[in-house]
Amino acid sequence: MPRGTRALIGCAMLPSSSLPAAEVAVAPVVPALTFAGPGSAAAMNFSEVFKLSSLLCKFSPDGKYLASCVQYRLVIRDVNTLQILQLYTCLDQIQHIEWSADSLFILCAMYKRGLVQVWSLEQPEWHCRIDEGSAGLVASCWSPDGRHILNTTEFHLRITVWSLCTKSVSYIKYPKACQQGITFTRDGRYMALAERRDCKDHVSVFVCSDWQLLRHFDTETQDLAGIEWAPNGCVLAVWDTCLEYKVLLYSLDGRLLSAYCAYEWSLGVKSVAWSPSSQFLAVGSYDGKVRILNHVTWKMITEFGHPATVNNPKIVVYKEAEKNPRLALGRLAFPPPRAAAGPASTTESKYEIASAPVSLQTLKPIADRANPKIGIGALAFSPDNYFLATRNDSVPNAVWIWDVQKLRLFVVLEQLSPVRSFQWDPQQPRLAICTGGGKVYLWSPAGCVSVQVPGEGDFQVLSLCWHFSGDSLALLSKDHFCLCFLETEERVGTAFGRPGDHT
């Protein structure tokens, strides 16, 4: 990796500007919405709704701050009070934000302008601007040390490594344009980079402390689609294009440990996820199955199917159903009022336990279009390694939750609308789900609830993210966001001691 001479990064000392009085007021909290969760009492408080652009809202890694964007402005809030601590103005509309690992810096990328601006939380007057010029910019991210920024130029011609400490610049050639081409080990020591040179796929492993090349090897892939380190940093998973089913496992020194292929002559791998313990690798495929590989032999130990009908009476299936308000006899309005005739997202709903066999809503894919709605589009392990949540894109309204210890289906949740996103609580086996409507859904081993987001208008939850403590949840809509504060009298972890209970 050739190193350039000291490159000028636009770092300017900016005068400290005082914030308008209206911007520093403590945000009010909506009165608590209390519900009786299955198996444990819980309460949820919702904050005021704030403006947001492009779903750009992220908690800092240390959990103290919340960053959000409104067009070209970056707003930093205190997580506990939601008071505005800093208000930064960027040169153009922000398209990407990312916290440094130590939460001391935050970068804002403006891809259209080829610019990255970096702000300091400790020294608000400090400012850094990186201009990639004619090379353009398509991606920007932090290195694990929080003092280097990796910018990927247009057409993936190179990756530029900028140092905030020395203002030096280094270049990495041949990065590949793929689904996930850069991955860091959890301890921050190594970076693996997918490369394409001489019409062949390669992987380079760099030492993040000095960006020296540690290993370089070619991969047995036709068109590499992604790479990801195991959480323990010992094994690198590499998977091929969806046209060729191939998952490769490499050691840190570049040795091929194993190659896995489930079938041929059909669409292959769609999603991949490591378990937190690094003992399992879940491979979601276009045939609607998840295959679990073990860390000893790297062979498949089981596969999870996602049929449209759940026949096993031991499997609990929660179906979301609308709540029908009780109307007094003789007072049935016709035509129905405007509010009642609106979309399902504005009506209250609840979960009902369905009796087997249960038929799930399926979606017939359009065969002559790209990216067909089939296969396992999302999968994630719970932080305690006990559960795996999956979504089969041809059964878009359902979330499947598997018991990893017993390698069997545990629960199925079927929503009224297609599932847009789900995410595990970082501290306990609790899953948050959103469907693009005005509700947020929570599941734990003790049961599940559907909660309407309060406030004026229709707040459509398009995405969500957890605070690392698991005590709060950011709900994001197209133009707004709010915080949901969770309080539980009984930790869900204790409820896991009796996973068979479903109230």
Backbone angles phi, psi at 344, to 5 degrees: -65, -25
pLDDT at residue 66 greater than cutoff 80: yes
What pLDDT, on the 0 to 100 scale, is given for residue 7?
A: 37
Q: In what order do the strands lie in the sheet with 73-78?
A: 57-59, 65-70, 73-78, 84-89
Using one digit for the tens of pLDDT, what is the confidence trace for 213-235? 999 999 999 999 999 999 999 99
Pull the structure tokens for residue 257.
């440990």
pLDDT at residue 463 greater than cutoff 80: yes
Q: How far apart are CA 77 and CA 480, in angstroms?
A: 15
Mean pLDDT of 201-218: 96
Least confident of 120-124, 270-274, 347-351, 354-358: 347-351
Strands (E), 49-181: 50-51, 57-59, 65-70, 73-78, 84-89, 96-99, 105-110, 115-120, 126-131, 139-142, 148-152, 158-163, 169-173
Question: Among candidates 221, 292, 214, which has minimal Cα distance to 254?
Answer: 214
Residues β-bridged to residue 15: none
**Residues whose CB falls within 8 Å of the CB of residue 40, separated by 6 or more in sequence, listed in order:** 444, 446, 488, 489, 490, 492, 495
Q: Check if the beta carbon of residue 453 is closer than 8 Å to that of residue 482.
A: yes
Using one digit for the tens of pLDDT, what is the confidence trace for 410-451? 999 999 999 999 999 999 999 999 999 999 999 999 999 999
Mean pLDDT of 58-83: 97
Q: In what order do the strands lie in the sheet with 247-251?
A: 226-229, 235-239, 247-251, 256-260
Tell me the average pLDDT of the chain.
86
What pLDDT, on the 0 to 100 scale, is given for residue 418?
A: 97
Q: Which residue has the higher pLDDT, 291 or 328?
A: 291
Using one digit for the tens of pLDDT, what is the confidence trace for 12-65? 333 333 333 223 323 334 333 333 333 333 578 999 999 999 999 999 999 999
For residue 35, CA distances in Å to 29, 278, 350, 471, 488 come to 17, 37, 12, 16, 11
Q: How far apart are CA 8 and CA 130, in angstroms?
A: 9
The CB density around residue 94, as the number of other CB atoms within 10 Å, is 23
Q: How far apart are CA 119 and CA 286, in angstroms?
A: 42
What's the burial of 503, exposed, middle or buried (CB within 10 Å: 0-12/13-18/19+)?
Answer: exposed
Strands (E), 279-372: 280-285, 289-294, 300-305, 309-310, 316-322, 349-354, 358-359
Q: How far apart are CA 15 and CA 58, in angstroms?
A: 26
Helix (H) or strand (E) holding 35: strand 33-37
Q: 3-state class of 200 per DSSP?
A: strand
Question: What's the pTM?
Answer: 0.86
Q: Check if the beta carbon of residue 129 is closer than 8 Å to that of residue 119.
A: no
Q: How far apart are CA 197 and CA 1, in angstroms?
A: 14
Q: What percent of the chain has pLDDT over 70?
A: 84
For residue 329, CA distances in Å to 137, 323, 326, 380, 429 come to 65, 18, 9, 48, 45
What pLDDT, on the 0 to 100 scale, is given for residue 325?
A: 58
Q: 3-state class of 155 per DSSP?
A: helix
